[in-house]
Amino acid sequence: MKRYYIGVGSTKITGTEVRELFRSSSEPTEASHGRLYHYVVGPFRTKRGADFMRQYGHNNPHCVTVADAERLAQKSSL
């Protein structure tokens, strides 16, 4: 079963941080995803939770864990 993850890397030209939502059927490792990302966050239960973390999780003390992102994403859609 494919699960949602957030891959965090940087652009080669400007060095700015890039947070990318992706799906993987296996747990990302340095061997499988290390060339693409500095680190990976997840797995997430829902795409909504993963997207919330991608958009609002950086330096947000209220959204630190996957569970925080899932809970906040559910609240924000009410």
d(CA 12, CA 4): 24
What is the per-residue pLDDT across 2-11, written as a single tens digit (0 to 9) for each?
999 999 998 8
What is the per-residue pLDDT across 17-36, written as a single tens digit (0 to 9) for each?
899 999 999 999 999 999 99
Q: How do the domains of the chain map onto residue ranges? A: 3-76
Of the pLDDT bands very low, low, confident and very high (cuts 50, 70, 90), residue 78 is low
3-state DSSP assignment of residue 15: coil
- Residue 12 has, within 13 A of its CA and on its CB side, a CA count of 2
